[in-house]
Amino acid sequence: MKKIVLLSILILLSIPCCMVKAADAPENLAIRAGRIWTVTDGIITDGVIIIKNGKIQAVRKKPDVPAEIEVLDFSDKDVMPGLIDAHCHIGLSLDIYSEIDETVLAVTPDMQIIDAFNPLADDVKKVLRSGVTTVLLAPGNKNPIGGQTAVVKLFGKKTKDRVLKRAAGVKFSLRDEALMPDRRPTSRAGLLALIREELNNVKAYKEDKPDLRMEVLKSVVDANFPVYISTYTVDEITSAVALVDEYNLNAVLIGAEQGDEIADLIAGRNIPVIYSPLLLFSRDKDLKRVVNMADGGIKVAFSSSAPETSLSDLRTSAITAVKYGLDKEVALKSLTINAAQILGVSKRVGSIQRGKDADLVILNGDPLQPTSTVEMVIINGDIVYQRQKI
Amino acid sequence: MENPVVMGHKNIILISSMLLLFTFTSAFGDQGIAIRAGHILTISDNPIENGIILIKGGKIEALGQNVVLPEDVRLIDANDKFVIPGLIDAQSRLFVMDSELDESRTIAPELNILDAIDPFIKEYREVLAQGVTAVCVAPGSHGLIGGRSAVLKLNGSKNIDRMVLKADATVKAAVGMSTGNTSSSLARLEHYSSIREALIATKVYMQTKEKADREMAEYNRKKAEYEKKDSGKETEKKEKPKRPARFRSSPASDVLAQVLRKEIPLQVEAHRVTDILNVLRLADEFGFTLILDKCTEGYLIADEIARRKASVIVGPVSTSFVDMPRLEYRNHDMSNASILSKNGIKTALGVSGRDGASSKFITLAAAMAAANGMDKDAALRAITLTPAEMFGVADRIGSLQVGKDADLVILNGHPLDTQTRVEMVLIEGKVVFERKSQQ
Of A329, A390, A384, the C-alpha closest to A131 is A384
Domain boundaries, chain B: 31-85+401-439, 87-201+249-397
A329 to chain B: which residues are within 8 Å by CB?
none
User: Among the listed ranges A71-80, A131-140, A179-188, B20-29, which one has the minimum average pLDDT value?
Assistant: B20-29
A90 and A135 in contact (C-beta within 8 Å)? yes
Which long-range contacts does B51-58 make (Cβ < 8 Å, 24+ apart)? B53/B83, B53/B400, B53/B406, B53/B408, B55/B406, B55/B426, B55/B429, B56/B30, B56/B32, B56/B429, B57/B30, B57/B429, B58/B405, B58/B406, B58/B428, B58/B429, B58/B430
What is the CATH T-level fold of the domain B31-85+401-439, as seen in this structure?
Urease, subunit C; domain 1 (2.30.40)
pLDDT in tens, A250-268: 999 999 999 999 999 999 9
A370 to chain B: which residues are within 8 Å by CB?
364, 367-368, 371, 416, 418
B295 and B270 in contact (C-beta within 8 Å)? yes
Instruction: Report yes or no: B437 at the A interface, CB cutoff 8 Å.
Output: no
Strands B430-434 and B422-427: antiparallel
A390 to chain B: which residues are within 8 Å by CB?
299, 333, 335, 339
- What angle in degrees, to the nearest 10, is found between the helix axes of A234-247 and A188-204? 10
pLDDT at A20: 37
CB contact under 8 A, A371 and B319: no
Phi/psi at A359 (nearest 5 deg)?
-105, 105
Domains of chain A, with CATH numbers?
2-81+361-386 (2.30.40.10), 83-342 (3.20.20.140)
CB contact under 8 A, B355 and A281: yes
Instruction: Report yes or no: A322 at the B interface, CB cutoff 8 Å.
Output: yes
Q: Which SS3 state, helix, strand or coil, does residue A306 take?
A: coil
Q: For an interface test with B, give the residue of A288, A323, A328 to mutate (most B CBs within 10 A).
A: A323
B339 to chain A: which residues are within 8 Å by CB?
390
Compute the distance between CA of residue A311 and CA of residue A88 in angstroms, rounded to an integer: 8
What is the CATH T-level fold of the domain B87-201+249-397, as seen in this structure?
TIM Barrel (3.20.20)
B438 to chain A: which residues are within 8 Å by CB?
none
Q: How many CB pairs under 8 A join A and B?
A: 74
Compute the distance between CA of residue A130 and CA of residue A111 in angstroms, rounded to an integer: 29
Of B313, B316, B377, B368, the C-alpha closest to B340 is B313
pLDDT at A321: 97
Question: Can you tell me the mean pLDDT for A286-295?
Answer: 97
Laid out side by side, the sheet with B430-434 consists of: B59-64, B48-56, B33-40, B74-85, B408-411, B422-427, B430-434
Instruction: Report yes or no: A312 at the B interface, CB cutoff 8 Å.
Output: yes
Question: Can you tell me the mean pLDDT for A94-110?
Answer: 79
A307 to chain B: which residues are within 8 Å by CB?
324
Compute the distance between CA of residue B144 and CA of residue B192 in angstroms, rounded to an integer: 8
Phi/psi at B268 (nearest 5 deg)?
-115, 120
Of B317, B319, B290, the C-alpha closest to B306 is B290
pLDDT at B297: 96
pLDDT at A62: 75
Query: pTM of the prediction?
Result: 0.89
Instruction: Report yes or no: A284 at the B interface, CB cutoff 8 Å.
Output: yes
Query: Using CB atoms within 10 A of its CB, is residue A219 exposed (0-12), middle (13-18) or buried (19+)?
Result: middle
The complex's ipTM works out to 0.86
Phi/psi at A107 (nearest 5 deg)?
-120, 110
B429 and B76 in contact (C-beta within 8 Å)? no
- For residue A157, give the DSSP letter: S
Mean pLDDT by 10-residue block, N- to C-terminus, for chain B (439 residues)?
44 51 47 94 97 97 94 94 98 80 72 93 95 93 85 96 97 81 66 93 96 94 83 64 90 97 97 94 97 97 97 91 75 94 97 91 97 96 98 98 98 96 97 80
Name the band, by pLDDT with cuts 50, 70 and 90, for residue A139.
very high
Instruction: Report yes or no: A278 at the B interface, CB cutoff 8 Å.
Output: no
pLDDT at B23: 44
The alpha-carbon gap from A23 to the nearest alpha carbon of chain B, in Å, equals 36
The alpha-carbon gap from B402 to the nearest alpha carbon of chain A, in Å, equals 31
pLDDT at A3: 54
B31-85+401-439 against B87-201+249-397: fold identical: no
Query: What's the sign of the alpha-carbon dihedral A11, A17, A19, A21?
Result: negative
Strands A251-255 and A227-231: parallel
Question: Can you tell me the mean pLDDT for A174-187?
Answer: 93
